Structure 1
Amino acid sequence: MELLAVEAVGRGLVVRAAEEVGAEAEGGTAHWYGGPVAVARLAGRLGFALLEPADDWLARLPEEFTGREVCLATVADAWAIRRPMFVKPPREKSFSAEVYADGSRLPGELDPATPVLVSEVVTFASEYRLFLLDGQIVAGSRYAVFGRLDPLPLDWGGAVAAEITEFVERLVGVAGAALPSAVVVDVGQVLDPYRAGHRWAVVEANMAWFSHAYAADPARVLDVVLRAAGPRDRVGAGDLAFVRQ
Protein backbone atom coordinates (compact mmCIF):
# COMPACT_ATOMS: atom_id res chain seq x y z
CA MET A 1 0.00 0.00 0.00
CA GLU A 2 2.84 2.41 0.82
CA LEU A 3 4.54 1.74 -2.53
CA LEU A 4 1.32 2.43 -4.40
CA ALA A 5 0.74 5.58 -2.36
CA VAL A 6 4.20 6.89 -3.26
CA GLU A 7 3.53 6.21 -6.94
CA ALA A 8 0.13 7.91 -6.73
CA VAL A 9 1.58 11.03 -5.11
CA GLY A 10 4.20 11.12 -7.83
CA ARG A 11 1.38 11.34 -10.35
CA GLY A 12 -0.16 14.29 -8.55
CA LEU A 13 -2.92 12.35 -6.78
CA VAL A 14 -3.88 13.11 -3.19
CA VAL A 15 -3.67 10.03 -0.95
CA ARG A 16 -5.87 9.66 2.12
CA ALA A 17 -6.43 6.81 4.56
CA ALA A 18 -10.07 5.71 4.83
CA GLU A 19 -10.49 7.27 8.28
CA GLU A 20 -9.13 10.59 6.97
CA VAL A 21 -11.63 10.98 4.14
CA GLY A 22 -13.88 13.96 4.79
CA ALA A 23 -16.61 15.87 3.02
CA GLU A 24 -14.06 17.65 0.82
CA ALA A 25 -13.56 14.42 -1.14
CA GLU A 26 -17.21 14.12 -2.13
CA GLY A 27 -18.01 15.06 -5.69
CA GLY A 28 -14.42 14.66 -6.82
CA THR A 29 -12.63 11.94 -8.76
CA ALA A 30 -11.83 9.18 -6.30
CA HIS A 31 -10.17 5.77 -6.54
CA TRP A 32 -9.78 3.04 -3.94
CA TYR A 33 -7.15 0.56 -2.77
CA GLY A 34 -7.98 -1.40 0.37
CA GLY A 35 -10.44 -3.77 1.99
CA PRO A 36 -14.16 -4.33 1.39
CA VAL A 37 -15.30 -3.38 4.90
CA ALA A 38 -13.96 0.17 4.78
CA VAL A 39 -15.02 0.74 1.18
CA ALA A 40 -18.59 -0.29 2.01
CA ARG A 41 -18.80 2.90 4.09
CA LEU A 42 -17.32 5.12 1.41
CA ALA A 43 -18.43 3.78 -1.97
CA GLY A 44 -21.77 5.58 -1.97
CA ARG A 45 -20.33 8.91 -0.86
CA LEU A 46 -17.35 8.90 -3.20
CA GLY A 47 -18.90 7.19 -6.21
CA PHE A 48 -16.53 4.25 -6.56
CA ALA A 49 -17.26 1.53 -9.10
CA LEU A 50 -15.43 -1.54 -7.81
CA LEU A 51 -14.71 -4.21 -10.42
CA GLU A 52 -14.52 -7.84 -9.32
CA PRO A 53 -14.66 -11.27 -10.97
CA ALA A 54 -17.76 -13.43 -10.55
CA ASP A 55 -17.76 -15.86 -7.63
CA ASP A 56 -18.01 -18.86 -9.96
CA TRP A 57 -15.41 -17.81 -12.55
CA LEU A 58 -12.82 -20.32 -11.36
CA ALA A 59 -15.39 -23.12 -11.03
CA ARG A 60 -16.55 -22.57 -14.63
CA LEU A 61 -13.06 -22.86 -16.13
CA PRO A 62 -12.18 -26.04 -18.06
CA GLU A 63 -9.98 -28.37 -16.02
CA GLU A 64 -7.11 -27.77 -18.43
CA PHE A 65 -6.79 -24.35 -16.78
CA THR A 66 -7.55 -25.29 -13.16
CA GLY A 67 -5.53 -28.50 -12.93
CA ARG A 68 -8.06 -29.80 -10.42
CA GLU A 69 -11.77 -30.13 -9.78
CA VAL A 70 -13.28 -26.89 -8.46
CA CYS A 71 -16.89 -26.12 -7.63
CA LEU A 72 -18.84 -23.22 -6.16
CA ALA A 73 -20.83 -24.41 -3.15
CA THR A 74 -22.16 -23.13 0.16
CA VAL A 75 -20.76 -23.51 3.64
CA ALA A 76 -23.57 -25.98 4.34
CA ASP A 77 -22.45 -28.09 1.38
CA ALA A 78 -18.84 -28.01 2.56
CA TRP A 79 -19.80 -29.01 6.11
CA ALA A 80 -21.18 -32.26 4.69
CA ILE A 81 -17.96 -33.30 2.89
CA ARG A 82 -16.01 -36.07 4.62
CA ARG A 83 -12.66 -35.94 2.85
CA PRO A 84 -9.73 -33.52 2.64
CA MET A 85 -10.52 -30.44 0.56
CA PHE A 86 -9.27 -26.93 -0.07
CA VAL A 87 -11.88 -24.32 0.81
CA LYS A 88 -11.77 -20.56 0.37
CA PRO A 89 -14.16 -17.61 0.21
CA PRO A 90 -14.57 -16.41 -3.40
CA ARG A 91 -13.89 -12.77 -2.43
CA GLU A 92 -13.79 -11.50 1.15
CA LYS A 93 -11.39 -13.15 3.57
CA SER A 94 -14.15 -14.20 5.96
CA PHE A 95 -12.26 -17.32 7.02
CA SER A 96 -8.89 -18.91 6.40
CA ALA A 97 -8.36 -20.36 2.91
CA GLU A 98 -6.65 -23.68 3.46
CA VAL A 99 -6.85 -27.47 3.29
CA TYR A 100 -9.44 -28.87 5.71
CA ALA A 101 -9.37 -32.53 6.72
CA ASP A 102 -13.14 -32.61 6.26
CA GLY A 103 -16.15 -30.31 6.46
CA SER A 104 -16.37 -30.54 10.24
CA ARG A 105 -13.13 -28.54 10.51
CA LEU A 106 -14.62 -25.43 8.90
CA PRO A 107 -15.57 -22.63 11.30
CA GLY A 108 -18.96 -23.42 12.82
CA GLU A 109 -20.03 -19.80 13.17
CA LEU A 110 -20.23 -19.19 9.41
CA ASP A 111 -23.57 -18.51 7.73
CA PRO A 112 -24.58 -21.82 6.06
CA ALA A 113 -25.58 -19.93 2.91
CA THR A 114 -22.17 -18.30 2.48
CA PRO A 115 -20.68 -19.16 -0.95
CA VAL A 116 -17.34 -20.98 -0.96
CA LEU A 117 -15.00 -22.43 -3.55
CA VAL A 118 -14.22 -26.08 -2.89
CA SER A 119 -11.43 -27.85 -4.75
CA GLU A 120 -9.50 -31.08 -4.61
CA VAL A 121 -6.12 -30.84 -2.92
CA VAL A 122 -3.10 -30.26 -5.17
CA THR A 123 0.45 -29.05 -4.58
CA PHE A 124 1.49 -25.72 -6.06
CA ALA A 125 5.29 -25.61 -6.29
CA SER A 126 5.24 -21.87 -6.93
CA GLU A 127 2.56 -19.22 -7.32
CA TYR A 128 2.54 -15.94 -9.22
CA ARG A 129 0.31 -12.87 -8.98
CA LEU A 130 -0.51 -11.22 -12.29
CA PHE A 131 -2.19 -7.84 -12.79
CA LEU A 132 -4.17 -7.82 -16.04
CA LEU A 133 -5.45 -4.81 -17.96
CA ASP A 134 -7.63 -5.41 -21.00
CA GLY A 135 -6.59 -9.06 -21.05
CA GLN A 136 -2.85 -8.30 -21.02
CA ILE A 137 -0.37 -8.93 -18.20
CA VAL A 138 1.04 -5.55 -17.18
CA ALA A 139 2.68 -6.52 -13.87
CA GLY A 140 3.40 -9.60 -11.81
CA SER A 141 5.64 -11.36 -9.34
CA ARG A 142 6.11 -14.64 -7.58
CA TYR A 143 4.50 -14.65 -4.16
CA ALA A 144 4.73 -18.19 -2.75
CA VAL A 145 6.77 -21.38 -2.94
CA PHE A 146 5.11 -24.58 -1.71
CA GLY A 147 2.51 -22.52 0.09
CA ARG A 148 4.98 -20.29 1.94
CA LEU A 149 5.20 -16.57 1.27
CA ASP A 150 8.30 -15.90 -0.85
CA PRO A 151 7.92 -12.82 -3.10
CA LEU A 152 10.35 -12.39 -5.96
CA PRO A 153 10.25 -10.08 -9.01
CA LEU A 154 9.35 -11.89 -12.20
CA ASP A 155 12.13 -12.00 -14.79
CA TRP A 156 10.20 -10.99 -17.89
CA GLY A 157 12.98 -12.20 -20.15
CA GLY A 158 13.15 -15.64 -18.58
CA ALA A 159 11.62 -19.02 -19.35
CA VAL A 160 9.10 -18.90 -16.49
CA ALA A 161 7.66 -15.58 -17.65
CA ALA A 162 7.40 -16.94 -21.19
CA GLU A 163 5.47 -19.98 -19.94
CA ILE A 164 3.18 -17.79 -17.85
CA THR A 165 2.50 -15.44 -20.76
CA GLU A 166 1.65 -18.32 -23.10
CA PHE A 167 -0.67 -19.88 -20.49
CA VAL A 168 -2.47 -16.60 -19.75
CA GLU A 169 -2.91 -15.82 -23.45
CA ARG A 170 -4.69 -19.18 -23.85
CA LEU A 171 -6.72 -18.53 -20.70
CA VAL A 172 -7.83 -15.08 -21.86
CA GLY A 173 -8.76 -16.51 -25.23
CA VAL A 174 -11.14 -18.97 -23.57
CA ALA A 175 -12.38 -17.12 -20.47
CA GLY A 176 -11.17 -13.53 -20.70
CA ALA A 177 -14.61 -12.18 -21.58
CA ALA A 178 -15.84 -13.41 -18.20
CA LEU A 179 -13.36 -11.16 -16.37
CA PRO A 180 -13.38 -7.40 -15.77
CA SER A 181 -10.91 -5.32 -17.76
CA ALA A 182 -8.79 -4.72 -14.64
CA VAL A 183 -8.27 -7.80 -12.50
CA VAL A 184 -5.74 -9.99 -10.72
CA VAL A 185 -5.21 -13.60 -11.73
CA ASP A 186 -2.98 -15.89 -9.68
CA VAL A 187 -1.38 -18.84 -11.45
CA GLY A 188 0.93 -21.57 -10.27
CA GLN A 189 2.94 -24.64 -11.15
CA VAL A 190 0.99 -27.75 -10.09
CA LEU A 191 3.13 -30.78 -9.36
CA ASP A 192 1.94 -33.93 -11.13
CA PRO A 193 2.23 -36.95 -8.79
CA TYR A 194 2.29 -39.36 -11.73
CA ARG A 195 5.04 -37.83 -13.83
CA ALA A 196 8.03 -35.54 -13.54
CA GLY A 197 7.57 -31.83 -14.06
CA HIS A 198 4.67 -29.50 -13.61
CA ARG A 199 1.75 -27.90 -15.40
CA TRP A 200 0.38 -24.39 -15.14
CA ALA A 201 -2.98 -23.81 -13.50
CA VAL A 202 -5.10 -20.92 -12.27
CA VAL A 203 -5.02 -20.49 -8.50
CA GLU A 204 -7.79 -17.88 -8.37
CA ALA A 205 -8.94 -14.48 -9.64
CA ASN A 206 -9.17 -11.47 -7.34
CA MET A 207 -10.12 -7.81 -7.16
CA ALA A 208 -7.13 -5.67 -8.10
CA TRP A 209 -8.17 -3.05 -5.52
CA PHE A 210 -7.79 -5.61 -2.71
CA SER A 211 -4.69 -7.53 -3.85
CA HIS A 212 -1.15 -7.29 -2.52
CA ALA A 213 1.36 -6.22 -5.16
CA TYR A 214 4.19 -8.29 -3.62
CA ALA A 215 7.30 -7.67 -5.78
CA ALA A 216 5.48 -6.36 -8.86
CA ASP A 217 6.23 -2.93 -10.35
CA PRO A 218 4.11 -0.47 -8.29
CA ALA A 219 3.62 1.90 -11.22
CA ARG A 220 2.11 -0.82 -13.41
CA VAL A 221 0.07 -2.20 -10.53
CA LEU A 222 -1.37 1.27 -9.90
CA ASP A 223 -2.52 1.46 -13.53
CA VAL A 224 -4.66 -1.63 -12.93
CA VAL A 225 -5.92 -0.48 -9.52
CA LEU A 226 -7.06 2.90 -10.87
CA ARG A 227 -9.17 1.17 -13.52
CA ALA A 228 -10.47 -1.46 -11.08
CA ALA A 229 -11.75 1.05 -8.51
CA GLY A 230 -12.57 4.45 -9.89
CA PRO A 231 -15.49 6.77 -10.72
CA ARG A 232 -18.72 5.11 -11.79
CA ASP A 233 -19.12 7.41 -14.76
CA ARG A 234 -15.85 6.10 -16.23
CA VAL A 235 -16.82 2.43 -16.27
CA GLY A 236 -16.84 0.98 -19.76
CA ALA A 237 -19.85 -0.92 -21.06
CA GLY A 238 -17.98 -4.22 -20.92
CA ASP A 239 -17.29 -3.77 -17.21
CA LEU A 240 -20.80 -2.91 -16.03
CA ALA A 241 -21.58 -6.56 -15.25
CA PHE A 242 -18.57 -6.71 -12.93
CA VAL A 243 -19.36 -3.70 -10.74
CA ARG A 244 -19.69 -4.69 -7.10
CA GLN A 245 -23.24 -4.18 -5.85
Structure 2
Amino acid sequence: MPTLIFTPRYTDDSQALWKAAGALGWQVQRLTNWWVPEHLQNLEQAVLYGEALFGPTLAEQLGIRLLSPPEDWLVRLPMEYKHRQISMQNLGQARQLTTPAFIKPPNDKSFPAEVYTGASLPLEYDDDMLVLVSEVVQWEKEFRCFILQRQLVTYSLYSRFGDVQRETEFASTMDEDNALKTFMHTLLADERVDLPDACVIDAGMLTGGTWACVEQNAAWGAGIYGCDPARVLEVLRHASIGI
Protein backbone atom coordinates (compact mmCIF):
# COMPACT_ATOMS: atom_id res chain seq x y z
CA MET A 1 0.00 0.00 0.00
CA PRO A 2 1.44 3.45 -0.88
CA THR A 3 2.50 5.94 1.77
CA LEU A 4 1.77 9.54 0.79
CA ILE A 5 4.43 11.94 2.13
CA PHE A 6 3.70 15.65 2.54
CA THR A 7 6.13 18.45 3.31
CA PRO A 8 5.56 20.51 6.50
CA ARG A 9 3.65 23.19 4.57
CA TYR A 10 -0.14 22.92 4.96
CA THR A 11 -2.22 23.74 1.87
CA ASP A 12 -5.80 23.18 0.75
CA ASP A 13 -4.42 20.78 -1.88
CA SER A 14 -2.54 18.65 0.63
CA GLN A 15 -5.62 18.47 2.84
CA ALA A 16 -7.80 17.33 -0.08
CA LEU A 17 -5.22 14.72 -1.09
CA TRP A 18 -4.91 13.56 2.53
CA LYS A 19 -8.65 12.86 2.69
CA ALA A 20 -8.64 11.09 -0.68
CA ALA A 21 -5.64 8.96 0.29
CA GLY A 22 -7.31 7.96 3.57
CA ALA A 23 -10.45 6.90 1.70
CA LEU A 24 -8.29 4.70 -0.54
CA GLY A 25 -6.59 3.07 2.43
CA TRP A 26 -3.19 4.72 1.87
CA GLN A 27 -0.88 5.56 4.74
CA VAL A 28 -0.26 9.31 5.09
CA GLN A 29 2.67 11.07 6.76
CA ARG A 30 3.46 14.79 7.02
CA LEU A 31 7.06 15.76 7.66
CA THR A 32 7.65 18.05 10.63
CA ASN A 33 10.76 19.60 9.04
CA TRP A 34 12.78 19.41 5.84
CA TRP A 35 14.45 16.14 6.78
CA VAL A 36 13.02 12.63 6.30
CA PRO A 37 13.12 10.64 9.56
CA GLU A 38 14.73 7.22 9.45
CA HIS A 39 11.46 5.28 9.77
CA LEU A 40 10.21 6.84 6.50
CA GLN A 41 13.36 6.15 4.51
CA ASN A 42 13.19 3.36 1.93
CA LEU A 43 9.50 2.63 2.32
CA GLU A 44 8.08 -0.01 0.00
CA GLN A 45 6.13 2.62 -1.96
CA ALA A 46 6.63 6.26 -1.01
CA VAL A 47 4.66 8.89 -2.93
CA LEU A 48 5.86 12.47 -2.44
CA TYR A 49 3.78 15.63 -2.84
CA GLY A 50 5.27 19.02 -2.09
CA GLU A 51 7.20 22.08 -3.20
CA ALA A 52 9.41 21.90 -6.27
CA LEU A 53 12.42 23.50 -4.55
CA PHE A 54 12.61 20.79 -1.87
CA GLY A 55 11.34 17.79 -3.86
CA PRO A 56 14.66 16.42 -5.17
CA THR A 57 16.35 16.63 -1.75
CA LEU A 58 13.47 14.85 0.00
CA ALA A 59 13.24 12.26 -2.79
CA GLU A 60 16.88 11.33 -2.31
CA GLN A 61 16.26 10.75 1.40
CA LEU A 62 13.13 8.71 0.63
CA GLY A 63 15.01 6.55 -1.86
CA ILE A 64 12.82 7.50 -4.83
CA ARG A 65 13.22 9.27 -8.16
CA LEU A 66 10.75 11.99 -9.13
CA LEU A 67 9.53 12.35 -12.70
CA SER A 68 10.07 15.91 -13.95
CA PRO A 69 9.89 17.47 -17.42
CA PRO A 70 13.08 18.22 -19.37
CA GLU A 71 14.03 21.88 -19.04
CA ASP A 72 13.78 22.44 -22.80
CA TRP A 73 10.44 20.63 -23.27
CA LEU A 74 8.54 23.75 -24.35
CA VAL A 75 11.34 24.77 -26.70
CA ARG A 76 11.14 21.42 -28.51
CA LEU A 77 7.34 21.23 -28.55
CA PRO A 78 6.00 21.48 -32.15
CA MET A 79 4.78 24.98 -32.98
CA GLU A 80 1.19 23.85 -33.57
CA TYR A 81 0.94 23.07 -29.84
CA LYS A 82 2.51 26.27 -28.44
CA HIS A 83 1.78 29.03 -31.03
CA ARG A 84 4.56 31.31 -29.80
CA GLN A 85 8.33 31.61 -30.04
CA ILE A 86 10.15 30.13 -27.02
CA SER A 87 13.89 29.78 -26.46
CA MET A 88 16.21 28.60 -23.71
CA GLN A 89 18.78 31.21 -22.67
CA ASN A 90 20.98 31.91 -19.72
CA LEU A 91 20.26 34.94 -17.57
CA GLY A 92 23.30 36.73 -18.95
CA GLN A 93 21.77 36.58 -22.44
CA ALA A 94 18.27 37.42 -21.18
CA ARG A 95 19.60 40.50 -19.39
CA GLN A 96 20.51 41.95 -22.81
CA LEU A 97 16.87 41.92 -23.98
CA THR A 98 15.42 45.37 -24.63
CA THR A 99 11.88 44.26 -25.56
CA PRO A 100 9.49 42.64 -23.05
CA ALA A 101 9.41 38.82 -22.89
CA PHE A 102 7.78 36.28 -20.61
CA ILE A 103 10.69 34.78 -18.65
CA LYS A 104 10.65 31.93 -16.13
CA PRO A 105 12.94 29.31 -14.62
CA PRO A 106 12.23 26.01 -16.44
CA ASN A 107 11.27 23.69 -13.57
CA ASP A 108 11.15 25.65 -10.34
CA LYS A 109 9.98 28.95 -8.92
CA SER A 110 13.35 30.50 -8.08
CA PHE A 111 11.89 33.82 -9.18
CA PRO A 112 8.37 34.75 -10.38
CA ALA A 113 7.38 33.89 -13.95
CA GLU A 114 6.49 37.30 -15.40
CA VAL A 115 6.96 39.65 -18.31
CA TYR A 116 10.40 41.27 -17.99
CA THR A 117 12.79 43.39 -19.94
CA GLY A 118 16.42 42.42 -19.49
CA ALA A 119 17.07 45.29 -17.12
CA SER A 120 14.19 44.30 -14.82
CA LEU A 121 15.30 40.69 -14.22
CA PRO A 122 16.32 39.89 -10.61
CA LEU A 123 20.00 40.49 -9.93
CA GLU A 124 20.55 37.88 -7.22
CA TYR A 125 20.90 34.97 -9.68
CA ASP A 126 24.02 34.03 -11.64
CA ASP A 127 24.29 34.84 -15.33
CA ASP A 128 24.68 31.14 -16.21
CA MET A 129 21.24 30.22 -14.76
CA LEU A 130 18.99 28.86 -17.54
CA VAL A 131 15.60 30.44 -18.20
CA LEU A 132 12.79 30.07 -20.74
CA VAL A 133 12.19 33.20 -22.80
CA SER A 134 8.81 33.37 -24.51
CA GLU A 135 6.98 35.71 -26.81
CA VAL A 136 4.34 37.56 -24.79
CA VAL A 137 0.79 36.26 -25.37
CA GLN A 138 -2.51 36.60 -23.54
CA TRP A 139 -4.39 33.57 -22.28
CA GLU A 140 -8.17 33.79 -22.16
CA LYS A 141 -8.49 30.60 -20.11
CA GLU A 142 -6.10 27.99 -18.73
CA PHE A 143 -6.64 24.40 -17.58
CA ARG A 144 -4.56 22.08 -15.40
CA CYS A 145 -4.42 18.52 -16.75
CA PHE A 146 -3.05 15.51 -14.86
CA ILE A 147 -1.69 12.98 -17.35
CA LEU A 148 -0.93 9.29 -16.85
CA GLN A 149 0.58 7.23 -19.66
CA ARG A 150 -0.56 9.79 -22.24
CA GLN A 151 -4.16 9.75 -21.02
CA LEU A 152 -6.05 12.71 -19.53
CA VAL A 153 -6.98 11.54 -16.02
CA THR A 154 -8.48 14.68 -14.45
CA TYR A 155 -8.51 18.38 -15.29
CA SER A 156 -9.66 21.74 -14.00
CA LEU A 157 -10.02 25.26 -15.30
CA TYR A 158 -7.83 27.44 -13.08
CA SER A 159 -7.54 30.85 -14.73
CA ARG A 160 -9.49 33.34 -16.84
CA PHE A 161 -7.44 36.23 -18.22
CA GLY A 162 -4.85 35.58 -15.52
CA ASP A 163 -7.28 35.54 -12.59
CA VAL A 164 -7.31 32.33 -10.53
CA GLN A 165 -10.89 31.04 -10.45
CA ARG A 166 -11.09 30.01 -6.81
CA GLU A 167 -14.25 32.03 -6.16
CA THR A 168 -16.11 30.16 -8.92
CA GLU A 169 -14.75 26.82 -7.63
CA PHE A 170 -12.89 26.46 -10.94
CA ALA A 171 -16.12 25.95 -12.88
CA SER A 172 -16.00 25.52 -16.66
CA THR A 173 -18.67 25.01 -19.29
CA MET A 174 -19.32 21.84 -21.27
CA ASP A 175 -18.16 23.60 -24.45
CA GLU A 176 -14.89 24.63 -22.77
CA ASP A 177 -14.37 21.08 -21.47
CA ASN A 178 -14.97 19.59 -24.91
CA ALA A 179 -12.58 22.03 -26.57
CA LEU A 180 -9.89 21.18 -24.02
CA LYS A 181 -10.39 17.43 -24.50
CA THR A 182 -10.15 17.78 -28.28
CA PHE A 183 -6.87 19.69 -28.03
CA MET A 184 -5.39 17.33 -25.45
CA HIS A 185 -6.41 14.22 -27.41
CA THR A 186 -4.46 15.50 -30.41
CA LEU A 187 -1.42 16.51 -28.38
CA LEU A 188 -1.25 13.28 -26.36
CA ALA A 189 -1.59 11.12 -29.48
CA ASP A 190 1.32 12.87 -31.23
CA GLU A 191 4.49 10.78 -30.90
CA ARG A 192 6.63 13.88 -31.42
CA VAL A 193 5.47 15.13 -28.00
CA ASP A 194 7.85 13.65 -25.43
CA LEU A 195 6.13 12.89 -22.10
CA PRO A 196 7.01 11.02 -18.91
CA ASP A 197 4.53 8.42 -17.64
CA ALA A 198 3.10 10.87 -15.10
CA CYS A 199 3.00 14.63 -15.47
CA VAL A 200 0.89 17.77 -15.55
CA ILE A 201 0.21 19.75 -18.71
CA ASP A 202 -1.31 23.21 -18.55
CA ALA A 203 -3.23 24.07 -21.69
CA GLY A 204 -5.49 26.92 -22.63
CA MET A 205 -7.04 29.20 -25.18
CA LEU A 206 -5.21 32.27 -26.38
CA THR A 207 -7.06 35.51 -27.02
CA GLY A 208 -8.39 34.97 -30.53
CA GLY A 209 -9.52 31.39 -29.95
CA THR A 210 -6.39 29.30 -30.60
CA TRP A 211 -5.69 26.44 -28.17
CA ALA A 212 -2.08 25.93 -27.05
CA CYS A 213 0.08 24.34 -24.37
CA VAL A 214 1.07 26.67 -21.54
CA GLU A 215 3.74 24.43 -20.01
CA GLN A 216 4.49 20.99 -18.57
CA ASN A 217 4.92 20.58 -14.80
CA ALA A 218 5.99 17.82 -12.48
CA ALA A 219 2.86 16.18 -11.06
CA TRP A 220 4.37 15.80 -7.56
CA GLY A 221 4.67 19.57 -7.13
CA ALA A 222 1.61 20.84 -8.99
CA GLY A 223 -1.48 22.43 -7.45
CA ILE A 224 -4.68 20.52 -8.08
CA TYR A 225 -7.23 23.38 -8.23
CA GLY A 226 -10.59 21.70 -8.97
CA CYS A 227 -9.16 18.35 -10.13
CA ASP A 228 -10.47 15.12 -8.60
CA PRO A 229 -8.06 14.38 -5.70
CA ALA A 230 -8.46 10.60 -5.97
CA ARG A 231 -7.55 10.70 -9.64
CA VAL A 232 -4.64 13.02 -8.93
CA LEU A 233 -3.33 10.33 -6.58
CA GLU A 234 -3.31 7.86 -9.49
CA VAL A 235 -0.88 10.17 -11.27
CA LEU A 236 1.21 10.93 -8.17
CA ARG A 237 1.64 7.22 -7.54
CA HIS A 238 3.48 6.93 -10.86
CA ALA A 239 5.45 10.17 -10.45
CA SER A 240 7.54 8.74 -7.55
CA ILE A 241 9.72 5.88 -8.76
CA GLY A 242 11.48 3.49 -6.39
CA ILE A 243 15.22 3.15 -6.91
Q: Which moved further from structure 2: 79-88 or 7-16?
A: 7-16
Matched, 1:11 2:11: no
Q: 1:112 matched to which residue of 2?
A: 127
SS in 2 for 1:138: strand
Bigger shift: 206-215 or 146-155? 146-155
Show CA shifts across 1:199-245 (max 9, x none).
1011000000000000111111111111112423xxxxxxxxxxxxx
Question: 1:67–1:190: 8 Å Cα contact kept in structure 2?
Answer: no
1:34 shift after superposition = 0.3
Preserved CA contact (<8 Å) 1:140 1:154: no
Provide the aligned length of Structure 1 versus Structure 2.
Answer: 224
TM-score by length of 2: 0.87
| C-alpha RMSD of matched pairs (Å) | 1.6
What letter matches 1:200 in structure 2?
Answer: W
Aligned to 1:171: 187
Over residues 123-171 of structure 1, what are the superposed CA-to-partner deviations in whole Å (9 max), with x where a residue is unaligned? 101110000111111101011111111141455xx22222111111221
1:214 aligned onto 2:229: no
C-alpha contact 1:74 1:116 (8 A) present in aligned 2: yes
- Please give the secondary structure, in 1, of the residue aligned with 2:238: helix
Q: Of the candidates 56, 60, 63, which is equivalent to residue 76 of structure 2?
A: 60
1:42 CA drift (Å): 2.6
Give the conservation status (yes or no) of the 8 Å contact 1:154–1:216. Answer: no
Hey, what does 2:96 align to over in structure 1? 80
Contact 2:56 2:66 in 1 (8 A): no
Whether the 8 Å contact between 2:198 and 2:239 is mirrored in structure 1 is: yes
In 2, Cα distance between equivalents of 1:227 and 1:154: 28
- Normalising by structure 1, what TM-score? 0.86
The aligned amino acid for 1:219 is A
| Separation in 2, partners of 1:35, 1:5 | 16
| In the alignment, structure 1 residue 185 sits paired with structure 2 residue 201 | yes
Aligned equivalent of 2:152, options 137, 157, 161: 137
Where structure 2 has 5 or more consecutive residues not aligned to the other structure, the ranges are 1-13
CA, structure 1 residues 154+4, in 2 after alignment: closer, same or farther (shift >3 Å)? farther
In 1, the alpha carbon distance for the partners of 2:162 and 2:193 equals 29
What is the rounded CA distance, in whole Å, between the counterparts of 2:57 and 2:227 in structure 1?
29
1:147 pairs, out of 141, 148, 162, with: 162
| Aligned mates of 1:181, 1:27 — CA distance in 2 | 22
Identity percentage of aligned residues: 37
- 3-state SS of 1:32 partner: strand
Structure with the bigger RCO (C-alpha within 8 Å, sep 6+) is 1
Alpha-carbon distance, 1:12 to partner: 2.1
Q: Within 1, Cα distance between the matches of 2:88 and 2:27? A: 39
Amino acid at match of 1:191: T
Report the residue type matching 1:18 in the other structure: L
Pair 1:227 & 2:238 matched: yes
Give yes or no for the alignment of 1:97 onto 2:113: yes
Deviations 1:29-80 (A, max 9, x none): 2110001343333322321110011111111112211121111111111111
| Cα distance in structure 2, aligned partners of 1:177 and 1:84 | 28
Greater share of helix residues, 1 or 2? 1
What SS does the aligned partner of 2:190 have? helix
- Measured in 2, the distance between the counterparts of 1:52 and 1:42 equals 14
Q: Distance in 1 between matches of 2:171 and 2:37?
A: 37
